[in-house]
Protein backbone atom coordinates (compact mmCIF):
# COMPACT_ATOMS: atom_id res chain seq x y z
CA UNK A 1 0.00 0.00 0.00
CA UNK A 2 1.36 3.44 -0.79
CA UNK A 3 2.09 5.60 2.26
CA UNK A 4 2.26 9.39 2.40
CA UNK A 5 5.84 10.54 1.78
CA UNK A 6 7.56 12.96 4.17
CA UNK A 7 10.60 14.42 2.43
CA UNK A 8 13.14 16.32 4.53
CA UNK A 9 15.79 18.48 2.84
CA UNK A 10 18.93 18.92 4.95
CA UNK A 11 20.52 16.58 7.49
CA UNK A 12 21.52 19.21 10.05
CA UNK A 13 20.22 20.18 13.47
CA UNK A 14 16.62 20.76 12.37
CA UNK A 15 16.24 18.05 9.69
CA UNK A 16 17.71 15.15 11.66
CA UNK A 17 15.88 16.12 14.85
CA UNK A 18 12.62 16.12 12.88
CA UNK A 19 13.23 12.67 11.37
CA UNK A 20 14.49 11.21 14.64
CA UNK A 21 11.25 12.26 16.29
CA UNK A 22 9.05 11.11 13.37
CA UNK A 23 10.68 7.67 13.50
CA UNK A 24 9.59 7.41 17.12
CA UNK A 25 6.12 8.93 16.79
CA UNK A 26 4.91 7.28 13.57
CA UNK A 27 4.46 3.60 12.80
CA UNK A 28 6.31 2.51 9.61
CA UNK A 29 2.92 2.00 7.87
CA UNK A 30 1.93 5.63 8.53
CA UNK A 31 4.55 7.37 6.40
CA UNK A 32 7.59 6.89 4.20
CA UNK A 33 10.49 8.99 5.51
CA UNK A 34 13.13 10.29 3.08
CA UNK A 35 16.11 12.60 3.73
CA UNK A 36 18.05 14.40 1.00
CA UNK A 37 21.39 15.68 2.22
CA UNK A 38 24.92 15.78 0.77
CA UNK A 39 26.81 14.11 3.64
CA UNK A 40 26.21 10.97 5.72
CA UNK A 41 26.64 12.85 9.00
CA UNK A 42 25.00 15.59 11.02
CA UNK A 43 27.57 18.28 11.70
CA UNK A 44 27.81 19.81 15.18
CA UNK A 45 28.87 23.24 13.90
CA UNK A 46 29.43 25.01 17.24
CA UNK A 47 32.57 22.91 17.78
CA UNK A 48 34.06 23.51 14.30
CA UNK A 49 36.62 26.01 15.68
CA UNK A 50 37.91 23.18 17.90
CA UNK A 51 38.40 21.04 14.80
CA UNK A 52 40.31 23.84 13.08
CA UNK A 53 42.46 24.23 16.18
CA UNK A 54 43.10 20.47 16.40
CA UNK A 55 41.52 20.18 19.86
CA UNK A 56 38.94 17.79 18.37
CA UNK A 57 39.23 15.35 15.49
CA UNK A 58 36.83 15.98 12.56
CA UNK A 59 35.07 12.66 13.27
CA UNK A 60 34.09 13.72 16.78
CA UNK A 61 31.76 16.48 15.51
CA UNK A 62 30.36 14.43 12.59
CA UNK A 63 27.44 12.45 14.01
CA UNK A 64 26.62 9.43 11.86
CA UNK A 65 23.16 9.59 10.23
CA UNK A 66 23.11 5.76 10.07
CA UNK A 67 23.43 5.65 13.84
CA UNK A 68 20.73 8.26 14.50
CA UNK A 69 18.18 7.34 11.84
CA UNK A 70 17.10 3.71 11.61
CA UNK A 71 14.37 3.60 8.98
CA UNK A 72 14.69 6.85 7.04
CA UNK A 73 15.86 6.46 3.44
CA UNK A 74 18.94 8.69 3.16
CA UNK A 75 19.59 10.04 -0.35
CA UNK A 76 23.04 11.54 -0.81
CA UNK A 77 22.52 14.67 -2.89
CA UNK A 78 21.61 18.35 -2.99
CA UNK A 79 18.08 19.61 -3.60
CA UNK A 80 18.47 22.33 -6.24
CA UNK A 81 14.86 23.34 -6.86
CA UNK A 82 11.39 22.96 -5.33
CA UNK A 83 8.19 23.06 -7.39
CA UNK A 84 5.48 23.61 -4.80
CA UNK A 85 2.64 23.39 -7.36
CA UNK A 86 3.77 19.95 -8.57
CA UNK A 87 4.88 18.93 -5.05
CA UNK A 88 8.26 17.82 -6.33
CA UNK A 89 11.91 18.48 -5.62
CA UNK A 90 14.80 18.32 -8.09
CA UNK A 91 17.81 16.59 -6.56
CA UNK A 92 21.35 16.54 -7.92
CA UNK A 93 22.86 13.32 -6.66
CA UNK A 94 26.50 12.53 -5.90
CA UNK A 95 27.23 11.56 -9.51
CA UNK A 96 25.77 14.81 -10.87
CA UNK A 97 22.54 13.24 -12.24
CA UNK A 98 19.26 15.07 -11.70
CA UNK A 99 16.29 13.30 -10.19
CA UNK A 100 12.71 14.34 -9.37
CA UNK A 101 11.29 13.37 -5.98
CA UNK A 102 7.63 13.82 -5.18
CA UNK A 103 6.34 14.50 -1.66
CA UNK A 104 3.15 14.74 0.34
CA UNK A 105 4.87 16.74 3.08
CA UNK A 106 8.12 18.63 2.65
CA UNK A 107 10.30 19.89 5.51
CA UNK A 108 12.83 22.38 4.22
CA UNK A 109 15.79 22.39 6.63
CA UNK A 110 18.68 23.24 4.30
CA UNK A 111 20.35 25.68 6.72
CA UNK A 112 22.46 28.61 5.58
CA UNK A 113 25.64 29.56 3.75
CA UNK A 114 28.29 32.18 4.47
CA UNK A 115 27.11 35.72 3.77
CA UNK A 116 29.37 37.60 1.38
CA UNK A 117 29.36 41.08 -0.13
CA UNK A 118 30.57 42.60 -3.38
CA UNK A 119 34.08 43.20 -2.10
CA UNK A 120 36.78 42.85 -4.77
CA UNK A 121 38.72 39.58 -4.27
CA UNK A 122 36.60 38.34 -1.36
CA UNK A 123 34.99 35.37 -3.11
CA UNK A 124 38.33 34.30 -4.60
CA UNK A 125 40.51 34.52 -1.49
CA UNK A 126 38.46 34.22 1.73
CA UNK A 127 38.25 31.04 3.79
CA UNK A 128 35.00 30.10 5.57
CA UNK A 129 34.06 28.20 8.71
CA UNK A 130 30.77 26.50 7.82
CA UNK A 131 31.69 22.96 6.82
CA UNK A 132 33.90 20.21 8.19
CA UNK A 133 36.08 20.39 5.08
CA UNK A 134 36.59 24.14 5.59
CA UNK A 135 37.67 23.63 9.21
CA UNK A 136 40.14 20.89 8.22
CA UNK A 137 41.40 22.95 5.29
CA UNK A 138 41.92 26.05 7.42
CA UNK A 139 43.89 24.08 10.02
CA UNK A 140 46.26 22.75 7.34
CA UNK A 141 46.54 26.19 5.78
CA UNK A 142 47.44 27.91 9.07
CA UNK A 143 50.09 25.30 9.95
CA UNK A 144 51.43 25.54 6.41
CA UNK A 145 51.90 29.31 6.82
CA UNK A 146 54.16 28.65 9.83
CA UNK A 147 56.06 25.96 7.88
CA UNK A 148 56.63 28.38 5.01
CA UNK A 149 57.39 31.37 7.25
CA UNK A 150 60.11 29.32 8.94
CA UNK A 151 61.98 28.90 5.66
CA UNK A 152 61.15 32.27 4.08
CA UNK A 153 64.24 34.30 3.21
CA UNK A 154 62.28 37.51 2.62
CA UNK A 155 61.32 39.14 5.97
CA UNK A 156 58.21 40.73 4.41
CA UNK A 157 56.97 37.33 3.26
CA UNK A 158 57.67 35.85 6.70
CA UNK A 159 55.65 38.60 8.39
CA UNK A 160 52.74 38.24 5.96
CA UNK A 161 52.58 34.48 6.50
CA UNK A 162 52.51 35.01 10.27
CA UNK A 163 49.66 37.54 10.09
CA UNK A 164 46.07 36.20 10.23
CA UNK A 165 42.88 38.20 9.69
CA UNK A 166 39.42 37.11 10.81
CA UNK A 167 36.33 39.11 9.85
CA UNK A 168 33.23 38.79 12.05
CA UNK A 169 32.93 39.59 15.73
CA UNK A 170 29.98 37.27 16.39
CA UNK A 171 30.42 33.93 18.14
CA UNK A 172 31.67 32.07 15.04
CA UNK A 173 34.41 34.61 14.22
CA UNK A 174 35.42 35.25 17.82
CA UNK A 175 35.74 31.54 18.63
CA UNK A 176 37.61 30.88 15.38
CA UNK A 177 40.14 33.67 16.03
CA UNK A 178 40.52 32.68 19.68
CA UNK A 179 41.04 28.96 19.02
CA UNK A 180 43.39 29.43 16.06
CA UNK A 181 45.45 32.06 17.90
CA UNK A 182 46.05 29.44 20.61
CA UNK A 183 47.06 26.96 17.92
CA UNK A 184 49.66 29.29 16.39
CA UNK A 185 51.01 30.43 19.78
CA UNK A 186 51.56 26.81 20.83
CA UNK A 187 52.88 25.75 17.41
CA UNK A 188 55.45 28.58 17.29
CA UNK A 189 57.37 26.87 20.11
CA UNK A 190 58.10 23.97 17.71
CA UNK A 191 59.62 26.29 15.11
CA UNK A 192 62.93 27.45 16.59
CA UNK A 193 63.61 29.70 13.57
CA UNK A 194 60.36 31.64 14.03
CA UNK A 195 60.11 34.73 16.22
CA UNK A 196 56.79 34.28 18.11
CA UNK A 197 56.65 38.07 18.38
CA UNK A 198 55.89 38.19 14.65
CA UNK A 199 52.64 36.26 15.09
CA UNK A 200 49.77 38.66 14.62
CA UNK A 201 46.00 38.13 14.73
CA UNK A 202 43.41 40.74 13.71
CA UNK A 203 39.71 40.55 14.36
CA UNK A 204 37.70 42.95 12.20
CA UNK A 205 34.03 43.86 12.51
CA UNK A 206 31.87 46.60 11.11
CA UNK A 207 29.94 46.78 14.42
CA UNK A 208 31.20 48.91 17.32
CA UNK A 209 31.25 45.94 19.77
CA UNK A 210 32.36 42.36 19.98
CA UNK A 211 29.73 39.66 20.63
CA UNK A 212 26.74 42.06 20.74
CA UNK A 213 24.47 39.06 21.53
CA UNK A 214 26.10 38.81 24.98
CA UNK A 215 25.73 42.44 26.05
CA UNK A 216 28.35 45.14 26.68
CA UNK A 217 30.04 43.69 29.77
CA UNK A 218 30.75 40.19 28.46
CA UNK A 219 31.72 41.50 25.03
CA UNK A 220 34.27 43.83 26.68
CA UNK A 221 35.42 40.97 28.87
CA UNK A 222 36.05 38.73 25.86
CA UNK A 223 37.95 41.55 24.13
CA UNK A 224 40.16 42.13 27.18
CA UNK A 225 40.98 38.39 27.38
CA UNK A 226 41.83 38.17 23.70
CA UNK A 227 43.86 41.42 23.77
CA UNK A 228 45.99 39.92 26.55
CA UNK A 229 46.65 37.02 24.18
CA UNK A 230 47.78 39.43 21.47
CA UNK A 231 44.71 39.65 19.23
CA UNK A 232 44.19 43.14 17.77
CA UNK A 233 40.70 44.50 17.13
CA UNK A 234 39.48 46.78 14.34
CA UNK A 235 35.87 47.63 15.14
CA UNK A 236 33.66 50.00 13.10
CA UNK A 237 35.78 48.74 10.21
CA UNK A 238 35.19 46.50 7.22
CA UNK A 239 37.16 45.08 4.33
CA UNK A 240 37.56 47.11 1.13
CA UNK A 241 39.50 44.65 -1.00
CA UNK A 242 41.30 41.32 -0.82
CA UNK A 243 44.15 39.88 -2.86
CA UNK A 244 46.13 36.65 -2.54
CA UNK A 245 48.59 38.39 -0.24
CA UNK A 246 46.81 41.35 1.38
CA UNK A 247 43.62 42.63 2.97
CA UNK A 248 42.74 46.32 2.63
CA UNK A 249 40.56 47.64 5.42
CA UNK A 250 38.00 50.42 4.94
CA UNK A 251 40.09 52.71 7.19
CA UNK A 252 42.81 52.56 4.51
CA UNK A 253 45.22 50.18 6.21
CA UNK A 254 46.68 47.38 4.09
CA UNK A 255 47.51 44.20 6.00
CA UNK A 256 49.91 41.91 4.14
CA UNK A 257 48.58 38.37 4.87
CA UNK A 258 47.92 35.01 3.25
CA UNK A 259 44.93 34.25 5.48
CA UNK A 260 41.53 35.92 5.58
CA UNK A 261 38.84 33.99 7.46
CA UNK A 262 35.39 35.34 6.61
CA UNK A 263 32.66 34.73 9.21
CA UNK A 264 30.53 37.84 8.73
CA UNK A 265 27.13 36.20 9.16
CA UNK A 266 25.00 33.76 7.21
CA UNK A 267 22.23 33.82 4.60
CA UNK A 268 19.54 31.21 4.07
CA UNK A 269 20.35 28.38 1.64
CA UNK A 270 19.98 29.48 -2.01
CA UNK A 271 17.35 26.72 -2.30
CA UNK A 272 14.89 29.16 -0.67
CA UNK A 273 15.05 31.34 -3.80
CA UNK A 274 13.73 28.51 -5.99
CA UNK A 275 10.37 28.35 -4.15
CA UNK A 276 7.45 30.51 -5.10
CA UNK A 277 6.98 31.70 -1.50
CA UNK A 278 7.48 34.75 0.70
CA UNK A 279 10.72 35.54 2.53
CA UNK A 280 11.89 37.75 5.38
CA UNK A 281 15.54 38.82 5.13
CA UNK A 282 16.07 35.96 2.65
CA UNK A 283 14.61 33.28 4.96
CA UNK A 284 11.36 31.46 4.09
CA UNK A 285 8.36 33.02 5.82
CA UNK A 286 6.52 30.59 8.09
CA UNK A 287 3.56 30.70 10.42
CA UNK A 288 4.19 29.95 14.13
CA UNK A 289 3.27 26.34 13.23
CA UNK A 290 6.30 26.31 10.84
CA UNK A 291 4.04 26.09 7.79
CA UNK A 292 5.04 27.97 4.61
CA UNK A 293 1.94 29.98 3.57
CA UNK A 294 0.72 29.35 0.02
CA UNK A 295 2.81 26.18 -0.42
CA UNK A 296 0.62 23.16 0.36
CA UNK A 297 2.32 20.55 2.54
CA UNK A 298 5.53 22.59 2.96
CA UNK A 299 7.15 23.36 6.32
CA UNK A 300 10.42 25.24 6.91
CA UNK A 301 12.72 25.26 9.93
CA UNK A 302 16.16 26.33 11.15
CA UNK A 303 18.48 28.88 9.55
CA UNK A 304 16.55 28.70 6.24
CA UNK A 305 13.26 29.78 7.84
CA UNK A 306 11.93 33.06 9.23
CA UNK A 307 9.94 31.67 12.17
CA UNK A 308 7.99 34.17 14.31
CA UNK A 309 9.66 34.43 17.73
CA UNK A 310 6.60 34.21 19.98
CA UNK A 311 8.75 34.52 23.12
CA UNK A 312 9.93 37.98 21.96
CA UNK A 313 6.76 39.09 20.16
CA UNK A 314 6.21 41.83 17.56
CA UNK A 315 7.90 41.24 14.20
CA UNK A 316 10.78 39.29 15.75
CA UNK A 317 11.95 36.10 14.06
CA UNK A 318 14.02 33.44 15.78
CA UNK A 319 17.80 33.94 15.39
CA UNK A 320 19.77 31.44 13.25
CA UNK A 321 21.13 29.28 16.06
CA UNK A 322 21.46 25.57 16.74
CA UNK A 323 19.39 26.07 19.88
CA UNK A 324 16.33 27.12 17.85
CA UNK A 325 16.99 24.80 14.88
CA UNK A 326 17.11 21.68 17.02
CA UNK A 327 13.86 22.61 18.81
CA UNK A 328 12.13 23.62 15.57
CA UNK A 329 13.06 20.18 14.21
CA UNK A 330 11.22 18.54 17.10
CA UNK A 331 8.26 20.94 16.80
CA UNK A 332 7.85 20.39 13.06
CA UNK A 333 7.75 16.61 13.58
CA UNK A 334 4.80 17.09 15.93
CA UNK A 335 3.02 19.20 13.30
CA UNK A 336 3.71 16.81 10.43
CA UNK A 337 2.26 14.06 12.59
CA UNK A 338 -0.77 16.27 13.31
CA UNK A 339 -1.32 16.78 9.58
CA UNK A 340 -1.07 13.05 8.91
CA UNK A 341 -3.57 12.28 11.68
CA UNK A 342 -5.89 15.23 11.09
CA UNK A 343 -5.31 16.79 14.52
CA UNK A 344 -4.43 20.38 15.45
CA UNK A 345 -0.90 21.72 14.93
CA UNK A 346 0.98 23.53 17.70
CA UNK A 347 2.80 26.88 17.45
CA UNK A 348 6.58 26.90 18.03
CA UNK A 349 7.69 28.82 21.09
CA UNK A 350 11.07 28.77 22.83
CA UNK A 351 12.66 31.27 25.17
CA UNK A 352 16.34 31.67 24.34
CA UNK A 353 18.56 29.94 26.92
CA UNK A 354 21.51 32.26 26.26
CA UNK A 355 24.82 31.84 24.52
CA UNK A 356 28.18 30.27 25.32
CA UNK A 357 31.44 31.39 23.70
CA UNK A 358 34.49 29.17 24.10
CA UNK A 359 37.73 31.16 23.73
CA UNK A 360 39.97 28.09 24.19
CA UNK A 361 41.74 26.75 27.27
CA UNK A 362 40.04 28.08 30.40
CA UNK A 363 38.90 31.28 28.65
CA UNK A 364 35.22 31.71 27.89
CA UNK A 365 32.25 34.02 28.30
CA UNK A 366 28.69 32.82 28.59
CA UNK A 367 25.25 33.94 29.62
CA UNK A 368 23.12 30.95 30.53
CA UNK A 369 19.57 31.98 31.49
CA UNK A 370 20.65 35.64 31.79
CA UNK A 371 23.53 35.00 34.25
CA UNK A 372 26.79 36.58 33.05
CA UNK A 373 29.87 34.39 33.50
CA UNK A 374 33.47 34.60 32.36
CA UNK A 375 36.67 32.58 32.76
CA UNK A 376 36.59 29.04 34.12
CA UNK A 377 32.93 29.01 35.30
CA UNK A 378 31.86 30.18 31.82
CA UNK A 379 34.03 27.48 30.25
CA UNK A 380 32.50 24.76 32.43
CA UNK A 381 29.04 25.93 31.34
CA UNK A 382 30.10 26.17 27.67
CA UNK A 383 31.60 22.70 27.49
CA UNK A 384 28.81 21.20 29.61
CA UNK A 385 26.26 22.75 27.26
CA UNK A 386 27.94 21.32 24.17
CA UNK A 387 28.21 17.85 25.69
CA UNK A 388 24.50 17.89 26.54
CA UNK A 389 23.54 19.28 23.13
CA UNK A 390 25.50 16.68 21.14
CA UNK A 391 22.88 14.26 19.85
CA UNK A 392 24.34 10.81 20.72
CA UNK A 393 26.17 9.23 23.63
CA UNK A 394 28.89 8.13 21.19
CA UNK A 395 29.44 11.71 20.02
CA UNK A 396 29.52 13.00 23.60
CA UNK A 397 32.06 10.36 24.57
CA UNK A 398 34.26 11.11 21.54
CA UNK A 399 34.26 14.84 22.30
CA UNK A 400 35.01 14.36 26.01
CA UNK A 401 37.83 11.89 25.29
CA UNK A 402 39.31 14.22 22.65
CA UNK A 403 39.24 17.21 24.99
CA UNK A 404 40.90 15.15 27.71
CA UNK A 405 43.53 13.75 25.32
CA UNK A 406 44.33 17.18 23.94
CA UNK A 407 44.74 18.70 27.38
CA UNK A 408 47.21 15.94 28.33
CA UNK A 409 49.15 15.32 25.10
CA UNK A 410 48.73 18.67 23.30
CA UNK A 411 48.93 19.00 19.52
CA UNK A 412 51.60 17.79 17.08
CA UNK A 413 50.66 20.45 14.49
CA UNK A 414 50.62 17.97 11.63
CA UNK A 415 49.29 18.99 8.24
CA UNK A 416 47.22 16.14 6.80
CA UNK A 417 47.49 17.40 3.20
CA UNK A 418 44.27 15.54 2.33
CA UNK A 419 42.84 18.59 0.59
CA UNK A 420 46.06 19.95 -0.85
CA UNK A 421 45.65 21.52 -4.27
CA UNK A 422 41.84 21.54 -4.20
CA UNK A 423 40.01 24.77 -5.05
CA UNK A 424 39.20 26.36 -1.69
CA UNK A 425 36.82 29.28 -2.24
CA UNK A 426 33.62 29.67 -0.22
CA UNK A 427 31.68 28.52 -3.31
CA UNK A 428 33.85 25.42 -3.76
CA UNK A 429 33.13 24.30 -0.21
CA UNK A 430 29.53 25.45 0.14
CA UNK A 431 28.27 24.54 -3.39
CA UNK A 432 26.31 27.77 -3.74
CA UNK A 433 26.44 27.64 -7.55
CA UNK A 434 24.21 24.61 -8.22
CA UNK A 435 20.76 26.12 -7.68
CA UNK A 436 17.87 27.31 -9.83
CA UNK A 437 19.07 28.40 -13.27
CA UNK A 438 19.89 25.52 -15.56
CA UNK A 439 17.70 23.03 -13.68
CA UNK A 440 16.35 20.67 -16.31
CA UNK A 441 13.74 18.35 -14.95
CA UNK A 442 13.59 14.71 -16.07
C1 LIG B 1 31.44 28.20 13.65
C2 LIG B 1 30.01 28.20 14.12
C3 LIG B 1 29.73 28.21 15.48
C4 LIG B 1 28.40 28.20 15.92
N5 LIG B 1 28.15 28.20 17.27
C6 LIG B 1 26.87 28.14 17.71
C7 LIG B 1 26.60 28.10 19.09
O8 LIG B 1 27.50 28.13 19.93
N9 LIG B 1 25.28 28.02 19.48
C10 LIG B 1 24.25 27.97 18.57
O11 LIG B 1 23.09 27.88 18.99
N12 LIG B 1 24.50 28.03 17.24
C13 LIG B 1 25.77 28.11 16.79
N14 LIG B 1 26.03 28.17 15.45
C15 LIG B 1 24.88 28.25 14.51
C16 LIG B 1 24.28 26.88 14.24
O17 LIG B 1 25.29 25.96 13.90
C18 LIG B 1 23.23 26.96 13.15
O19 LIG B 1 22.25 27.89 13.51
C20 LIG B 1 22.59 25.61 12.92
O21 LIG B 1 23.53 24.69 12.41
C22 LIG B 1 21.41 25.71 11.94
O23 LIG B 1 20.78 24.47 11.89
P24 LIG B 1 20.02 24.03 10.56
O25 LIG B 1 19.48 22.67 10.80
O26 LIG B 1 19.11 25.08 10.10
O27 LIG B 1 21.19 23.97 9.48
P28 LIG B 1 22.49 23.07 9.48
O29 LIG B 1 22.79 22.50 10.79
O30 LIG B 1 23.54 23.88 8.80
O31 LIG B 1 22.07 21.88 8.52
C32 LIG B 1 21.73 22.09 7.17
C33 LIG B 1 21.92 20.76 6.48
O34 LIG B 1 21.37 20.84 5.17
C35 LIG B 1 22.30 20.34 4.22
N36 LIG B 1 21.99 21.05 2.99
C37 LIG B 1 22.29 22.33 2.68
N38 LIG B 1 21.78 22.63 1.47
C39 LIG B 1 21.14 21.52 1.04
C40 LIG B 1 20.40 21.21 -0.14
N41 LIG B 1 20.22 22.12 -1.10
N42 LIG B 1 19.90 19.98 -0.27
C43 LIG B 1 20.07 19.04 0.70
N44 LIG B 1 20.74 19.29 1.84
C45 LIG B 1 21.26 20.52 2.01
C46 LIG B 1 23.64 20.66 4.82
O47 LIG B 1 24.66 19.84 4.28
C48 LIG B 1 23.38 20.35 6.29
O49 LIG B 1 23.50 19.00 6.54
C50 LIG B 1 27.34 28.18 14.98
C51 LIG B 1 27.63 28.17 13.61
C52 LIG B 1 28.95 28.18 13.18
C53 LIG B 1 29.23 28.16 11.70
Q: 114: CA distance to ligand 1 center in Å?
A: 11
**List of domains in the chain:** 5-114+267-352 (3.50.50.100), 122-264+421-429 (3.50.50.100)
The per-residue pLDDT for 94 is 85
The per-residue pLDDT for 438 is 47
Instruction: Tell me the pLDDT of the chain averaged across its residues.
Output: 95
Mean pLDDT of 66-85: 96
Residue 223 has pLDDT above 80, yes or no: yes
The per-residue pLDDT for 423 is 85
Which atom from ligand 1 is nearest to the alpha carbon of 14? 25
Mean pLDDT of 295-314: 97
Which atom from ligand 1 is nearest to the alpha carbon of 302? 26
Residue 440 has pLDDT above 50, yes or no: no
Q: 192: CA distance to ligand 1 center in Å?
A: 40
Which atom from ligand 1 is nearest to the alpha carbon of 266? 53
Mean pLDDT of 403-415: 93
Q: 124: CA distance to ligand 1 center in Å?
A: 23
Task: Supply the DSSP symbol for 72.
Answer: P
CB 304 within 8 A of CB 283: yes
> DSSP per residue over 222-284, as a string?
HHHHHHHTTEEEE-S--EEEEETTEEEETTS-EEE-S-EEE-S-EEE-GGGGGSSS-EETTEE
Element (H, E) at 134: helix 132-151
d(CA 192, CA 206): 37
d(CA 301, CA 296): 16
Which atom from ligand 1 is nearest to the alpha carbon of 48? 1
pLDDT, tens only, 171-217: 999 999 999 999 999 999 899 989 999 999 999 999 999 999 898 99
Protein residues whose CB sits closer than 6 Å to any atom of ligand 1:
9-15, 36-39, 45-46, 48-49, 78-79, 109-111, 129-130, 171-172, 269, 271, 302-304, 320-323, 325
Q: 81: CA distance to ligand 1 center in Å?
A: 19
The per-residue pLDDT for 1 is 65
> DSSP per residue over 135-197, as a string?
HHHHHHHHHHHHHHHHH-SSHHHHHHHTEEEEE--SHHHHHHHHHHHHHHHHHHTT-TTS-GG
Q: Which of 63, 72, 110 to mutate to test the pocket of ligand 1 (most atoms within 8 A of CB)?
A: 110
pLDDT, tens only, 340-353: 999 999 999 999 89
Confidence class for position 418, pLDDT limits 50, 70, 90: confident
Residue 397 has pLDDT above 90, yes or no: yes
Which atom from ligand 1 is nearest to the alpha carbon of 303? 26
Residue 47 has pLDDT above 60, yes or no: yes
Which atom from ligand 1 is nearest to the alpha carbon of 322? 11
Residue 313 has pLDDT above 80, yes or no: yes
- The closest residue, in CA terms, to atom 35 on ligand 1 is 10
The per-residue pLDDT for 69 is 97
Confidence class for position 375, pLDDT limits 50, 70, 90: very high
CB 299 within 8 A of CB 105: yes
Residue 168 has pLDDT above 70, yes or no: yes
Amino acid sequence: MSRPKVLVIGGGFAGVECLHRLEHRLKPAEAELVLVTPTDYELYLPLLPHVAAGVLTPQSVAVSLRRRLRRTEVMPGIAIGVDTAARSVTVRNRTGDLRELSYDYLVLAAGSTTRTFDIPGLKEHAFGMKTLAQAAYLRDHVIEQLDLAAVATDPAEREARMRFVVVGGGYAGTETAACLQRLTAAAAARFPRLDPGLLSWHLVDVAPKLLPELGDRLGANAMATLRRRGIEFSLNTSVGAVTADSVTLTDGRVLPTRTLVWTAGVVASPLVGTLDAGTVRGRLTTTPELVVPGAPGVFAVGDAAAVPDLAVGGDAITPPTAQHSQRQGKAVAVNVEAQLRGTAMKPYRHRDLGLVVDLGGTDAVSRPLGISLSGLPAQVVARGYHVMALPTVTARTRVLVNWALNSVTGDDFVRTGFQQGRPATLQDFEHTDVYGAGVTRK
